[in-house]
Amino acid sequence: MKNKVGIAVLVSGGGTNLQALIDAQNSGDIISGRIVCVISSKPGVYALERAEKAGIPHYALDRKALGQQAFEAETARIIANSGARLIVLAGFLSILSAGFINNFPGRIINVHPALIPSFCGKGMYGLRVHEAALEYGVKVTGATVHYVNEIPDGGEIIMQKAVNIRDGDTPEKLQKRVMKQAEWKILPASAEKVCAEILKSEVK
């Protein structure tokens, strides 16, 4: 069996994108990597139950109680102990510090529910993104997977997928469609692509 890249998934909520990654791993769409740990920025979220059901080691950290510095230090410790070489932000709602990001150059990816550079940057997450797209009146939105750098949503784009906006869309309806048609497809595909590239770079 060929070597696999350990993946640490960082979450903050229900974990639908985590589930997409777990399903892709189970179906063989992700073959170059394996999820080795799930870390939540708050306790009691459903993403942790998803990890539990899949038999993946999972950790609930309370970022608000710990403070950013201690939270990041503990997250880095868990990642190091797990042997993960790729970090996937899947519905992770905290902005990571430049110090943390620079410790993992080219090894952190994020999914954003819009076509970057539209409707992105600080404060643009969750339903806010879809509200902004509808308010602006665009006819097409989508999702983007990108590398994470110190600028929120500013890293190099890995994959994008467009989703049409329909008459009568609400932010909630649009959010669900973007998840199903874009996020849940391009996040696992991007994770596989980056893991394969990591393996390839190690062979050289």
- CATH architecture entry for 5-203: 3-Layer(aba) Sandwich (3.40)
Q: Is the pLDDT of residue 1 over 60?
A: no
Active site residue 58: no
**The pair of three-digit structure tokens given for residue 129, joined into one six-digit string:** 């993104």
Mean pLDDT to the nearest integer, 166-175 = 97
Contact between residue 171 and residue 195 where contact means Cβ atoms under 8 Å apart: no
pLDDT in tens, 36-95: 999 999 999 999 999 999 999 999 999 999 999 999 999 999 999 999 999 999 999 888
**Mean per-residue pLDDT over the chain, rounded:** 95
Q: Where are the domains of the chain?
A: 5-203
